Structure 1
Amino acid sequence: MKVAVAGAGLIGHTIAHMLRDTGDYEVVAFDRDAHALEKLASQGIATERVDSADANAVKAALKGFDALVNALPYYLAVNVAAAASGAGVHYFDLTEDVRATQAIRSLAEGASRAFMPQCGLAPGFIGIAAHELANRFSHVREVKMRVGALPAFPTNALKYNLTWSVDGLINEYCQPCEAIRDSHRLWVQPLEGLEHFSLDGIEYEAFNTSGGLGTLCETLAERVETLDYKSVRYPGHRDLMQFLLEDLRLASDRDTLKSILRRAVPSTTQDVVLIFVTVTGMRDGLLVQDVFTRKVFAKTVCGMPMSAIQITTAGAMCAVLDLFREGRLPQSGFVRQEQVSLRDFLANRFGQLYEGAVLDAQAATMV
């Protein structure tokens, strides 16, 4: 299968290596950054310099490819998806942006190729896991989805390090969040819904952020009383971000906020990804709760040291693409993450990267 990976940043770099190392994919990386491409080329990955903001250039570059994996920032997703549509190739991306996903869904209507956005961790894997748990109940009362990409050793006031796209981080803190309350779909505000909980003796907070649910609200509508997604951080992070975004009004000046975060908050590869899903409902006449948890740490993959967010984000994309290549997913039209079987995902060679330390669900307490 010949795959173009658009975006030679951290996650695109990782996806290209993971796919190439299987021997089952012919991979070419696209980017307009010559320096980023040189790094990949020096590691044996084929590259092509393409202006990702130019849909016609991307479309022309896709000639002869089977699929495009988009690892570019969310604001380029629709542009690149349109190029994939014009070129007649399958399309996959990592976007958490709700409006971009809606636009891509429109492109997928009646298409002979598959369009599958949101193939990362959240949205992505978290929806696969939550959907699997929900299907085990005759009636679902509540679904809670919690994900955190956190530094293993927090030292600054935000208790946070940059482990993925700054653009994506700010976007999920600023956009409305979909949820289900009292069996009705609605929008809630980001940074609200603050809660505290502990896992394995460590204190965390969680609050609303945008995009993590993917299409799950629509899929589970009329089956679920309550459904929400929240990002997990160390206590105090949310209040400081609210100060920056609301009190200093940087939500309307994202370029300044990006500059501040990049200048003041260091990146790290010593991180941990926390995944926590709880589903409560009726089964065989009894009220039951099922819990799915994972805690993924940085480690060496494909001979390269990788952060936990690299492993989980790139690993999810590669697992979904692998399942698609094997014919286990629809081959045309709009494909939702919850159409992926959790069992198939975890059995996949890339999905097995999620089979790390399993948390003790009994040690979790929500407040």
Structure 2
Amino acid sequence: MDALEILSDLENVFPYFQPIFSADEQSVIAYEVLGRYESEGNIISLGNFFQDDQIPDEYKYDVDLLLVKMALNQALTLDEDISIFLNRNADLLMYRHGEPFLQELLAFEKKGLRLDRIVLEISDRNYAGDLDQFDHLLQYYRTYGIKIAIARIDSESNYFERIGQLKPDILKINLQALKSTSTGINFHDVLFTFSLLARKIGSTLLFENIEMSYQLQFAWKNGGRYYQGFYLHPPVREFIERNLLKERLKEKFHDFISYEKKKLEAVYTTAETFQAKVQEIVLKNRNGTFQDLFQALIKELDQIAFRMYVCDEDGFQKSANIFKETTGWINQAQYIQKNWSWRPYFLENIIKMRNERKGILSDLYSDIETGETIRTFSFPISGNEYLFIDIAYQYLFQHDQLL
């Protein structure tokens, strides 16, 4: 794309708007502004123009400013609770120390556009400038009510650090990775980490590039409040009716809720089944050794479990591991006195079992040693001893509502 052609033909530069929908209202709550250029009857995205390092910043700023003015003029006609997302990389935001851009926003505030409706969707990827000055500028913008969204999840090692420093109002997550079988599985685990982080720092999750129903379901299940993508609505030149998808989204969410309820009921039923079965075996072997207990459990759970052990309430292992190999069950005595209190939810679950005198079926997680997706059933066998039974992936797969 020739930059000079665009700069000499600015009358054919205009904004497109991609609607963003909310889970709680099932309606449009924002629009992302996207740059477009019409050439010989074709509508061309200006994304490459803004990402081209060979194009001077002042050229990019002039085109961007034009798009912002046109977009915000249109936004004056929107309901006052609908936000506008403006894409800004660090270089563009820092142009002339960010002051000309802020003055333009303040001019629209005088026209009636509250600045707390503006969301700056930023990226500091490949930024060679002073990050401290960049961060100070963002905090300065925030004093006017302007919100901050981090626009991409990259693999850079400092990404979590940057999120912690900026504490963005919105974390925007690209669901493109879900299309790949190779990255999709790991992406689930990474995303779970981001959902926890977002909750801790008070950020809202926005999922973009939703192109299929299963991606919408994934976003909903993983704590997404806001959704965006061609599956919902493509970018358009004019604003759409904000409740256009309300009934459709209600139906989708109803299906998602029904599916999750069935899975939760399956987990509850499985936990109750294990509770009854394990409790009976423990009572019958309460005067025996750990080895006697394990042998009795193996008879009942040979096709279900692959590891068993006993810990005290402080997490110190009191028994050997009983581990199932392809040739049968073996003792792993080297695990005696290892401590597992550092594991997430360990002590919380111990207290819960101690008070309720009832077993707990864990959520899904990846086993450290085998790498397989498993669940663990924990059970209080005495005042200070707790039994842990790791459930094999094969069993979970055969009862797919447990996955």
Q: Same fold (TM over 0.5)?
A: no
Bin the TM-score by the shorter chain: under 0.3
TM-score, length basis structure 1: 0.27
Larger radius of gyration: 2
Higher RCO (CA 8 Å, separation ≥ 6 residues): 1
